[in-house]
Structure 1
Amino acid sequence: MASSPLIPKHNSGTTYKVVHVVQHLAPGGLETMVLELLKQAKDDERVFIISLEGELEQAIKHWPQLIKYRSHLFFLGKKPGSQVTLLRVMYRLLKVLKPQVVHTHHIGPLIYGGIAARLSRVPARIHTEHDMWHLTDAKRQKVENLALKLVNPILVADAQKVQQQLSQLFPYTTPTVIKNGVDCNRFVPANQAGARRILGLPAKVTLIGTAGRLEPVKAQATLIKAVARLSNDIHLTIAGIGSLEQELKDLATALKVGDRVHFLGLVNDMPSFYQSLDLFCLPSVCEGFPLSPLEAQACNIPVVVTDVGAAKETLCPLSGVTTKSNRVFSLVQALENALKTRHLFCPRDFVVENNDVRSMSEAYRSLVFKA
């Protein structure tokens, strides 16, 4: 697959425009990464985000940090199912914005944003795959295959595992790996006691934390069951909201650990959340390349993840521990092992070296802009 041309950069006062296209701009790993790329824009760049679904005010209500970027955001209000008229809307919007780069994320944005970019003759097109679970469906494979051939983007995988799967499914492509990054100037080590005071968490306990939507895919129930089998001085704190909140609270009560499991709801101060912990755990049954383990490790907190998707690739090889998904006793053992060795390593060093958002931003920039 041919790559898009490199666009020369110079000092003539030209403003370069980059448009990211996502399915739905709501709190999540992919969306957080795209927002970070917006924040990292240089003085001669303007970055916009187009969300196929949703509308601006509702998005800001659910994700307040979007408000400062509202002039950079567009919402197209896509309904479920195919919507051919949306392609025309996207085409017209791109003709107005006149970007040098359109960067799509996942299959829906590739179809609508990528094809509209090709039709409107955007010079450079990038498509990033953030996980591969959606391509287990044969129909989706055929649709993505056709879209890749029509759009002819620079193809990026956010993990080695994703790159391998893309190469197997679409052997004519040569995907580049650019791993997701986090802001290592924001996620930093800090005083644990102070962080616990900020969040109202108990001071003199060993604290395991997890963060994510309270939905089945994140498997917080498995983690609660595991914590119930650990010693009484080990507590769990959960950041996030979702449909399972009451069910998870009822489970903690039924297992007689209601006083050891602390539900924080939606946490805006995530650095303080990680800084309050002794250990972070992501017990999901399905993941792409998650950001939360990187954020935790950037705060020098060791991490346990289930070995799903590319979660393992986020781990510091010295301090990180993997476990099987939906296996309570396997998770208990992983948590105990990680707690025993948590003071021996510095996982922040791994993230600073491999997953800082500034390095990620420069890697994407180098795909299409000459120095």
Structure 2
Amino acid sequence: MERALKEHIHNIHSVVINNGINVSFFEKAVPIDICKEIGVTSDCKFVAMVARFSYMKDYKTLIRALLRLDNNVHLLCIGDGPFLNDNKDYAHAMGIGSRVHFLGLRKDVPNLLQGSDVIVLSSEHEGFSISMLEAMSCKKPFIGSNVPGIGDLVRDVALLFEFQDDEGLALCINKVLGDKTLYQNVAERCHSFAKQYDINAVAQKYMCLYKSL
């Protein structure tokens, strides 16, 4: 956005302050017992994605990735949108309808994320993703598509896969689920990144900017 502004208004001085979130609201959320809610055994693992069901969010790559994961790995799709039924049909057509859970719009998203094991965002592109920050605030490993708005921000923080590469995504998920040390390291890096955009830190940046004028 800053680059686009400078292309239209030359010699302008600008300062970028990204949006912030209440990190503690997510990091302190009480996990939901997802196994009990959806009726699966306690050895199941959960990969969650919170996004609108639209083309650019690309749930289908995540659904295909599930085919490459162990049968005890389930997918939680949290959101609504025009492509919801299309994705439901796709999951059933892939033969994994029983492992893909469409939870709709929820008021307890922080609790669902805390009850999950891995959080994914498989978008075609993003701005400055608030849902990414929310996921990272839960101190869970975050895996994102290597696209503008994700890859350029968290390349050295999260795990990345190429857009629509279900094999690469499955590999990332398997890596963190199969390696406790890597799981913890990625989760801690993600949490530290999110804390930079806590609402209090962002408010302080605004105060500093006002005082400098």
Relative to the length of structure 2, the TM-score reads 0.85
Shift of 1:264: 0.4
Shift of 1:213: 0.6
1:329 aligns with 2:175: no
Question: 1:348 aligned to 188, 191, 201, which one?
Answer: 191
Question: 1:280 aligned to 111, 116, 119, which one?
Answer: 119
Question: 1:362 aligned to 197, 204, 212, which one?
Answer: 204
Provide the identity percentage.
26
Q: Residue by residue, what CA displacement relative to the aligned partner does 1:332-371 show, whole Å, maximum 9, x if unpaired?
A: 223223333213341323322x110111123234433579
2: CA distance, partners of 1:273 / 1:344: 21
Contact 1:239/1:265 (<8 A) preserved:
yes
Aligned to 1:133: none
Residue 351 of structure 1 aligns with an amino acid whose one-letter code is A
Shift of 1:268: 1.1
Larger mean Cα displacement after TM superposition, 307-316 or 249-258: 307-316
Structure with more of its chain in strand, by fraction? 1
1: CA distance, partners of 2:113 / 2:8: 37
Question: 2:16 aligned to 177, 191, 206, which one?
Answer: 177
Residue 140 of structure 2 aligns with an amino acid whose one-letter code is I
1:1-371 alignment runs, 5 A limit: 129=1, 163-164=2-3, 166-167=5-6, 170-189=9-28, 192=31, 194-196=32-34, 200=38, 202=40, 203-312=42-151, 314-315=153-154, 317-318=156-157, 320-339=158-177, 340=179, 341-345=182-186, 346=188, 347-352=190-195, 354-368=196-210
Shift of 1:228: 1.6
Aligned to 1:116: none
Q: Residue by residue, what CA displacement relative to the aligned partner does 1:164-201 show, whole Å, maximum 9, x if unpaired?
A: 55445644223212222210120115554x44268546
5+ residue gaps, structure 1, are: 1-128, 130-162
The alignment partner of 1:187 has SS state of helix
2: CA distance, partners of 1:174 / 1:309: 24
Distance 1:365 1:234, change over 3 A: same
Structure with more of its chain in helix, by fraction? 2
Aligned residues: 207
5+ residue gaps, structure 2, are: none
Shift of 1:212: 0.9
Residue 188 of structure 1 aligns with an amino acid whose one-letter code is E
